[in-house]
Amino acid sequence: MRSLFVLVTLTTGAFAQMGAVGLFGILMKKLDNSPQGQCHQLSLFTNIIDLANNPKVVDALTGGDPSKAQMSQALVSILNAQMDPIKANKATVDNCQPTIATDNEVTDCLESQAVTQLNNILANQTAVDAMTKSNPQNVDMLKKLSAALDDKAKAVKANATESGFCDSTVDVRCIGQKIMTQFVKLASDDAALNAHFANNATQVQQFKDGAAKAQTRLDEQRKDEKLTGVCGKMPNILPIDIGSVTLDDLPSGMGIGMGMGM
């Protein structure tokens, strides 16, 4: 079950080959267990569980395959097990309420914006073909996912206060920028790259080529003054410091995908 990470991955274009599962794997490996990090865990994991328990979302992402649907419940179990010790501390939960409220508001914005981006893609056949590789099952997944989350997106847009907050303070591309910035940083360390790819020059170059494309995308986005202003104000909702991710944190084969996927 990929939930919010699917939406982020679809709309940023960053680390497209990593996929949502890869992002989730890194997240779980690099969890921030500081008091603030635990607050972010509670909000993010609760939101993921809500999506994992949404039959329409599950059907969209699994194509109605019962075995794949069971995976979403396995994810729920993993996340609940991670949260249970945090929830057992009432003082921590009470102290987390302001952070959770902000995180939930930002998450609503991200999901609404992601659905808007997804609908824009679905309205452009060329974009649909590129994203889905003209696979009818993938096209069906995107359409069902959009329909499953459309009501929530409309509710956000209908609320003038929330819509204003989203427009001025939240943009899914800000998360993509953090990921791409770290990607570029990792690609600048030749010694680490050679060690990670066992001196395979082709794989190292693929990674560097991907980082170069990421840098180009970053340069283009940073020319957008409004986006730069939004990213400067956007609250962090992730229980992980993206800047702390190293090549060794990437699952096997992911580094190559990162290099090829930009």
Task: Write down the pLDDT at residue 174.
Answer: 92
Mean pLDDT calculated for residue range 100-127: 91
Burial class (CB in 10 A: 0-12, 13-18, 19+), 183: buried
Cα–Cα separations (whole angstroms), residue 45 to 39, 157, 195: 10, 24, 34
- pLDDT band per the 50, 70, 90 thresholds, residue 1: very low
- pLDDT of 108 over the 70 cut: yes
- pLDDT of 210 over the 70 cut: yes
DSSP letters, 209-240, are: HHHHHHHHHHHHHTT-HHHHHHHHHPPP--SS
- pLDDT band per the 50, 70, 90 thresholds, residue 17: very low
Task: Write down the pLDDT at residue 259.
Answer: 43
- pLDDT of 253 over the 50 cut: yes
> What is the helix (H) or strand (E) element at residue 98, kind and residue range?
helix 90-122
Task: Write down the pLDDT at residue 254.
Answer: 53
Burial class (CB in 10 A: 0-12, 13-18, 19+), 231: buried
- pLDDT band per the 50, 70, 90 thresholds, residue 19: very low
The structure tokens listed for 164 are: 């204003």
> Of all residues in the chain, what percent carry a pLDDT higher than 90?
48
Task: Write down the pLDDT at residue 226.
Answer: 96
- pLDDT band per the 50, 70, 90 thresholds, residue 73: confident
- pLDDT band per the 50, 70, 90 thresholds, residue 11: very low
Task: Write down the pLDDT at residue 13.
Answer: 37
Task: Write down the pLDDT at residue 99.
Answer: 97
Mean pLDDT of the chain: 85
Task: Write down the pLDDT at residue 114.
Answer: 85
Q: What are phi and psi of 234, to 5 degrees?
A: -65, 125
Mean pLDDT calculated for residue range 86-94: 97
What does the pLDDT look like over 115-161, one tens digit per residue? 888 899 899 999 889 888 888 988 888 898 889 888 888 899 899 99
- pLDDT band per the 50, 70, 90 thresholds, residue 221: very high
Task: Write down the pLDDT at residue 3.
Answer: 41
What does the pLDDT look like over 22-48, one tens digit per residue? 666 777 888 999 999 999 999 999 988
- pLDDT of 262 over the 50 cut: no
Pair 51, 62: CB distance under 8 Å: no
Mean pLDDT calculated for residue range 48-75: 84
More confidently predicted of 185 and 145: 185
